[in-house]
Each structure stands twice: as structure tokens, then as C-alpha cells.
């Protein structure tokens, strides 16, 4: 039995807390709002983000970060990417001794700071680091439906130790040493889910959706090649697996956001209606900037960014993609 601090009490933090509690661990589930966490502690349910699941006694909701991490053997971060760096900075002053840090956040650090492991490494030197990612809707995981996912760390011992905490007969965790590939797959698929959502919102058909998924995967692989990701990772669970999931199922908030944009709604209205984090809306600008800086061709991601920056209307963005000069599929 381990004591695990789960930081982020949204749908994903809560679902992963349920998996860890099911596996016999003691969880401090931290959220930033004292009122919300007090109600959660009292009612034993995360009413806003995961209303169908009862929280077992092994999960203690709390809003005191210092208390949550005080005796933790492991810290799991599941906050939105926009706030990941700030939380790592806070942890740097809160954690008394370095403990393994694993994050389930999908995205890139804000303001061009790149992949999340770079941020975590800089803020928390000496802490063993890992990332958990793959095709995994929170509601299905929380309901105990079969899920396969990847846990990556540069250190094999850390990967194996952390995998053992999560892995069970309903939550199959594969290990990997490719932190870059696993993070890139999880970050870029959100932007591509917005793209396929836009296409569906515009009334395009199944051909366009399959085309966007496949050419989107080509974009991730090109970026991955530049950043030293293993190509197999990007065709595995954290790459293609999550891309397929999020681009094709309406549980995806990124996909639903894109559908709303394609139907002519504003980004603000769409985000408000969804009422949960839409990571791709933040990540699009970071991916577009990274692609530009590294001179990696990522036209679909660039067009999603252009739509979100209100430089191009959704139907114009789609036409611009189709009007590009013919080229070889692979080069």
C-alpha cells in the first residue's frame, strides 16, 4: 500500500484516484477550492466532474496542498497543462524530500516552454519523473471499463514501480522509456481532435475524418522525428491509439469543441458549453509555434491555430488544406 497525492480533482484526477484506491492505495485528492473539496469530502462524490461514482473511504478530498503531499510516497499530477508549471514550482517549495512525480496532464507548457518533462525536471531536480498517457476517457476508467495506457519514464525502475501502482485487470498499463513520444502523442492529438471536430461540424463526411486522422498522425510523426521521439510510440497507444479515440468519439471535449466551431459557434461559447478543460485550444498555439520554430510541416495544426486565433474561418481553413500542392504521401 502506498500513500499517493493526486493533484487535480477534475474528471481525470478523480478517475485515477478511483483506480489507485481500487488497487489498495491511500489517496489524498487535492483540488484548489476549499468549498468544493469540503463538499466532496462530505458527500463522497465529485458532483461537477464525475457525478456517477461514489468515492471510497481510501480517497480523502482536501484543498491543503502541503497536507496532501506531506506523507506522500508518490505524487500524481492531473491538472490542466496551463497550470502545470506553476504547480511544479509550488511543489518545489512544498515537498520536503524528492518523491516520484508522475503526471497524466496532456499538453505542452505555456509560453513556448515545451514538453512537460522539461518543466518538471527544471523545477524538481532529483525527483524520478514519469508520464501516464493513452486512450482513456475518465468516465470509462472510473466505471472500470477495460482500458490500455502507457507509463513512460527515462528510468526503467521508476516506470516499473509506478506501473505496479496503477495496473490491474481493468487498467492495463504498458511501460515505455520514451517520455518525449508519449507526451507528444497526448498533446498533439487534442489539436487534431479539434480539427476532425471542425470537419464534422462543417458537415464533411467520413472520408475527411479519416484523412485528417491519418495526415494528422503524419504531422505528429514529423514533429516526433525532430524531437527524438521513437516512431513506434507515435503509432502506439499514446499516439495513434489516443488520436483515434479522441477524433472519433463524442466523449472527447476537444472533438465537441471543434464540432461547435465548425457549426459556426464562437470559441468562447463552445468552451463555456463544454464546461471542462479543452486542452487542444491551448496546445494549438504551442504546437504551431514549435512547428514554425523547428521548420516542421504541420499544416493541420497550423490551420487549427489560425481558426482559434480568428485569422481564418473554419471552412476557409479546410479549403486551404485541400488547395495545397500535390505531394508524395511519404518523404
Ligand X SMILES: NC(=O)C1=CN([C@@H]2O[C@H](COP(=O)(O)OP(=O)(O)OC[C@H]3O[C@@H](n4cnc5c(N)ncnc54)[C@H](OP(=O)(O)O)[C@@H]3O)[C@@H](O)[C@H]2O)C=CC1
Query: Which stretches of the chain bind ligand 13P, using CB under 6 A?
Result: 106, 135-137, 190, 193, 242, 245-246, 252-254, 279
Q: How far is the CB of 149 from ligand 13P (least distance, A)?
A: 8
Sheet containing 59-62, strands listed edge to edge, beginning at the edge strand earlier in sequence: 59-62, 26-30, 3-7, 74-77, 101-103, 129-133, 147-152, 171-176
Nearest residue (CB) to ligand 13P, 136 versus 153: 136
Q: Crossing angle, helix 279-294 and helix 179-201, to 10 degrees?
A: 110
What, of ligand X, ligand 13P, none, does residue 193 touch, CB below 5 to 8 Å by kind? ligand 13P
Q: How far is the CB of 46 from ligand X (least distance, A)?
A: 8
For strands 3-7 and 26-30, give the pairing: parallel
Q: Per the annotation, does 178 bind a ligand?
A: no
Q: How far is the CB of 321 from ligand 13P (least distance, A)?
A: 21
Set 2, 70, 157, 189: catalytic member: 189
Question: Which residue stretches of the chain are H helix?
Answer: 11-22, 34-43, 65-70, 84-94, 116-123, 138-142, 156-166, 179-201, 206-227, 231-234, 242-248, 253-262, 267-274, 279-294, 299-308, 314-322
Cα separation, 40 vs 48, whole angstroms = 10
The answer to the question of residue 280 lying near ligand X (CB under 6 A) is no
Nearest residue (CB) to ligand X, 34 versus 225: 34
Site for ligand X in 6-25 (CB under 6 A): 8-13
Kindly list the distances between the CA atom of residue 310 and the CA atoms of 183, 306, 320, in Å, as whole numbers in the listed order. 27, 6, 15
What, of ligand X, ligand 13P, none, does residue 135 touch, CB below 5 to 8 Å by kind? ligand 13P
Q: Helix (H, G, I), strand (E, B), or coil: what is residue 279? A: helix
Nearest residue (CB) to ligand 13P, 84 versus 137: 137
- Letter string b/e over residues 217-252, b meaning 16 or more CB atoms within 10 A of that residue's CB: bebbbbbbeebebbeebbbbbbbbbbbebbbbeeeb
Q: How far is the CB of 188 from ligand X (least distance, A)?
A: 12
What, of ligand 13P, ligand X, none, does residue 10 touch, CB below 5 to 8 Å by kind? ligand X
The answer to the question of residue 166 lying near ligand X (CB under 6 A) is no
Q: Which stretch binds ligand X (CB under 6 A): 26-34, 108-116, 195-203, 205-213?
A: 26-34
Instruction: List the x/- string, 187-226, binding to ligand X by CB under 6 A.
Output: ----------------------------------------
Nearest residue (CB) to ligand 13P, 135 versus 201: 135
Is residue 189 among the annotated active site residues? yes
Q: What is the largest CA-CA distance in the chain?
A: 61
Q: Helix (H, G, I), strand (E, B), or coil: what is residue 104? A: coil
Ordered DSSP codes for 180-194: HHHHHHHHHHHHHHH
Q: Per the annotation, does 70 bind a ligand?
A: no
Write out the binding residues for NAD(+): 8-13, 138, 253
Which residues are identified as catalytic?
189
Which residues of the shown chain bind ligand X in the complex (CB under 6 A)?
8-13, 31-33, 49, 78-81, 83, 104-107, 136-138, 276-277, 279
Amino acid at each position: 500500500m502506498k500513500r499517493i497525492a493526486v493533484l487535480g480533482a477534475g474528471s481525470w484526477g478523480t478517475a485515477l484516484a478511483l483506480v489507485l484506491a481500487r488497487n489498495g492505495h491511500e489517496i489524498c485528492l487535492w483540488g484548489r477550492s476549499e468549498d468544493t473539496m469540503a463538499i466532496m469530502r462530505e458527500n463522497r462524490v465529485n458532483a461537477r466532474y464525475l457525478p456517477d461514482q461514489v468515492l471510497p473511504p481510501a480517497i480523502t478530498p482536501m484543498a491543503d496542498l502541503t497536507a496532501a503531499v506531506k506523507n506522500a510516497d508518490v505524487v500524481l499530477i492531473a491538472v490542466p497543462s496551463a497550470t502545470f508549471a506553476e504547480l511544479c514550482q509550488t511543489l518545489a517549495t512544498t515537498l520536503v524530500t524528492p518523491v516520484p512525480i508522475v503526471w497524466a496532464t496532456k499538453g505542452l507548457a505555456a509560453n513556448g516552454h515545451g514538453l512537460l518533462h522539461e518543466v518538471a525536471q527544471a523545477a524538481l531536480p532529483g525527483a524520478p519523473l514519469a508520464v501516464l498517457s493513452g486512450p482513456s476517457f475518465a468516465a470509462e476508467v472510473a466505471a472500470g471499463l477495460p482500458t490500455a495506457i502507457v507509463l513512460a519514464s527515462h528510468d526503467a525502475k521508476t516506470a516499473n514501480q509506478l506501473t505496479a501502482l496503477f495496473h490491474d485487470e481493468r487498467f492495463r498499463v504498458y511501460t515505455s522509456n520514451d517520455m518525449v513520444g508519449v507526451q507528444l502523442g497526448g498533446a498533439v492529438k487534442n489539436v487534431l481532435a479539434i480539427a476532425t471536430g471542425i470537419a464534422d461540424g462543417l458537415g464533411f463526411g467520413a472520408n475527411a475524418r479519416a484523412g485528417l486522422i491519418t495526415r494528422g498522425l503524419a504531422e505528429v510523426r514529423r514533429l516526433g522525428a525532430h524531437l527524438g521521439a521513437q516512431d513506434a510510440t507515435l503509432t502506439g497507444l499514446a499516439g495513434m491509439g489516443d488520436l483515434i479515440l479522441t477524433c472519433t468519439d463524442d466523449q472527447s471535449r476537444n472533438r465537441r469543441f471543434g464540432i461547435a466551431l465548425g457549426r459556426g459557434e464562437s470559441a468562447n461559447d463552445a468552451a463555456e458549453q463544454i464546461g471542462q478543460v479543452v486542452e487542444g485550444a491551448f496546445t494549438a498555439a504551442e504546437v504551431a509555434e514549435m512547428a514554425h520554430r523547428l521548420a516542421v510541416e504541420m499544416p493541420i495544426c497550423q490551420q487549427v491555430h489560425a481558426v482559434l486565433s480568428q485569422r481564418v474561418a473554419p471552412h476557409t481553413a479546410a479549403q486551404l488544406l485541400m488547395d495545397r500542392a500535390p505531394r508524395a504521401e511519404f518523404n
